[in-house]
Amino acid sequence: QLQLQESGPGLVRPSETLSLHCTVSGGSITNSNYYWGWIRQPPGKGLEWIGSVYHSGTTYYNPSLSSRITISVDTSKNQFSLRLSSVSAADTAVYYCARHPVLWFADPGFDIWGQGTLVTASS
């Protein structure tokens, strides 16, 4: 079965760039029916969608974060990645990667999630 696994540093210094990867196993990231997304959750708070990427490299970003984020895909590694620049304490959160279908395939919803990884922005 399809599984997603986040990886990357758990500590990032303020003003630096957060970089995370999500590795897809048990299936191909080139599946044309799905987008691949990032969602975060500050400790004790709710969920915030960051952005999504298609295997072709097409991306959609949260407008509130778009100036600081880059999401990319590496089909050779079956992996997609998040870069968030100029981090501050407000970016401390559990970061999840997840899958959602393209509209012509199914109604949108994140149906498979990684376990999440806590990233703390602190000096």
Partner 1 sequence: IVLTQSPGTLSLSPGERATLSCRTSQSVSSSYLAWYQQKSGQAPRLLIYGSSNRATGIPDRFSGSGSGTDFTLTISRLEPEDFAVYYCQQYDTTPTSFTFGPGTTVDIK
Does position 107 interact with partner 1 (CB under 8 A)? The reply is yes
What are the φ/ψ torsions at residue 90 (nearest 5 degrees)? -65, -15
- Using DSSP's 3-state secondary structure scheme, residue 89 falls into helix
Could you tell me the smallest distance in angstroms from the CB atom of residue 110 to partner 1?
A: 6
Q: Which of 70, 85, 110, 120 binds partner 1 (CB under 8 A)?
A: 110
Under a CB-based contact definition with an 8 Å cutoff, are residues 20 and 94 in contact? no
Of residues 7 and 16, the one with the C-beta less far from partner 1: 7
Q: How far is the CB of 26 from partner 1 (least distance, A)?
A: 15
Nearer to partner 1, 67 or 107 (CB): 107
Closer of 89 and 106 to partner 1 (Cβ):
106
**Is 66 within 8 Å of 86 (Cβ atoms)?**
no
Q: Which residues contact 44 (CB under 8 A, 6 or more apart)?
A: none
Is-contact 73 106, C-beta < 8 A?
Answer: no
> Does residue 108 touch partner 1 according to CB under 8 A?
yes
What's the distance, Cα to Cα, between the start and end of the chain in Å? 39
Residues that bind partner 1 (CB under 8 A): 37, 46-49, 52, 60, 62-63, 96, 98, 100, 106-111, 113-116
